[in-house]
Amino acid sequence: MKRLRWKLLAAMIALVVVTLGISGLFTRRVARDQVVRLMEMQPAGSPRPARSPMEDQALRVLEAHVRSTGGWRDIDAALDQLSSAQRCRIILTTTRGELIAVSAALRTAKVAVDGEDRVMVTGFPGSPIAQLVMYVMPLVVLDVTGHAVARAYVLPEVLPAPDHRDSALLREIAAVDRRLLAIFAVAALVAVLLTVVVSRRITRPVEQLTIAVQEFGRGKRPLHVPITGHDEIARLATSFHAMADAVSAQEELRRRMIGDVAHELRTPLTNLRCEIESIQDGLTMPNTARIASIHEEVLHLQRLVEDLQDLAIAEAGALALHRERVDLGAEIAGIVRGQAELTVEHGIAVDVDLTRLRQIVHNLLANAARHTLDGTPVRIRVARAGTEATVAVADRGPGIPAKELERIFERFHRVDEARSRARGGAGLGLAIVRRLVELHGGRVWAESVEGQGATFTFTLPPASS
């Protein structure tokens, strides 16, 4: 399980590192460009310096060119000559900011003018950044009539490097890099810690479930796994607990059944042994009474084995039913034959296995007779309840305690453990009744008021059309 935890932890850490790394690269690039632009831009609205002699000379040359040619014919050569003589770079635009010509050093770059004095040069030779943004006071070029026909922007030939401006720029970029590195280091640390906590929270219940399953596999009672939340792991733990409880209950039932079977077999076998050994030792004679007693014990053993076999087949779902359509009231009247007070509603058609129906009714009659006071008849009522047919068998005995009603249909269960075989039975009759009724698609339950008797009711579905 540790391998799962470490795999999950490694995967989540890798995801965090890759995400932070990509974010860091983009953030560093954007921050670096912004710092460079802020350092190299002259803020708009700052005081404009007076024109330099270089700018005055450039303005005179451009005005002379436009007045002599009447336009901008051969302006590229004029700009190249002027740039070389004045050791500068010149951008010439219309009064609306449309580019007319640039000096030779800027022809490999992308030049644009935004507004009146904001010059943007992409791919500036000698600049450490991809795009240079500067605020440059334009020179207004006038024609022979005195009208403005162009604007000229004079830029230095090279950027000052290295000097205090570049040093400050590099220091600021380095400071930004350090801050970004610290921020992403803290973010990575927090992400790793959260990943460790989350991975442990996910894998700990799985580890506990694994330990519980291993204990369960060794035959021990599994440990209780704490359940928190309502996610898939919590549902898995809940299902495991339900499974463990069901298996433990079945194991307890199996152990109790083995003990009960041994107990039920021990008494008749002991009686048989005593009778046979008594005859062998010559203490008694094999007369009719002795043989009848032995025969009674053998019949009891046979009934017990047959009940166990019927119950095993029914619980395995392998019991074949041979259904016939019958009038339920008439059929039960034929089964009872005066053994109980009968109230019948005729005309209730059901599809049942007659052999199993007789077994159900006989078992319920026998159970009611064992718990009914002498001389008090058992009552049976056949009626409709909605779409179902119901058969209720009631006795007038001492009744069943409320806490025993849920267990009354379990194998070998007796309300009074002290009852003898003659009065208490083997405890299989009601278990067989429940399984046979369920195989027919019905239900069975018990109701009782202590001191007033108990009523066992089972239902059967109506006959199919």
Distances (CA, A) of 416 to 339, 362, 376, 400, 413: 25, 21, 21, 10, 9
* pLDDT grade for 390, boundaries at 50, 70 and 90: very high
Handedness of CA 227, 230, 233, 237 (dihedral sign): positive
CA torsion through residues 212, 216, 218, 220, sign? positive
Compute CA 438 distance to the chain's CA centroid, rounded to the nearest angstrom.
Answer: 35
Average pLDDT score over residue span 261-290: 80
CATH number for domain 232-313, candidates 1.10.30.50, 1.10.287.130, 3.40.50.720, 3.90.105.10: 1.10.287.130
Predicted confidence (pLDDT) at residue 325 exceeds the cutoff of 90: yes
What pLDDT, in 10s, does the model give residues 354-379? 988 988 998 898 888 887 776 678 99
Per-residue pLDDT tens digits for 33-53: 665 555 444 444 455 556 788
CA angle 357, 361, 362 (to 5 degrees): 115
Output the CA–CA distances (angstroms, integers) from residue 204 to 46, 193, 225, in the order listed: 65, 16, 10
The CATH class given to the 50-159 domain equals alpha beta
- CA end-to-end distance (rounded Å), the chain: 58
Q: Is the pLDDT of residue 229 over 80?
A: no
Same CATH topology for 50-159 and 232-313?
Answer: no
Q: Say which range, 53-62, 84-93, 322-331, 396-405, has the weakest mean pLDDT.
A: 396-405
- DSSP one-letter code for 411: T
Q: Which two tokens stand for residue 92?
A: 């010439």
Determine whether domain 320-460 maps to CATH 3.30.565.10: yes
Q: How far apart are CA 126 and CA 166, in angstroms?
A: 12
- How far is residue 11 CA from its own chain's centroid? 20
Residue spans per domain, the chain: 50-159, 232-313, 320-460
In the prediction, which pLDDT does 250 show? 73
On the question of pLDDT at 258 being above 80, the answer is no
Is the whole-model pTM more than 0.75?
A: no
Tell which residue, 204, 426, 396, 127, has the closest CA to residue 300: 426
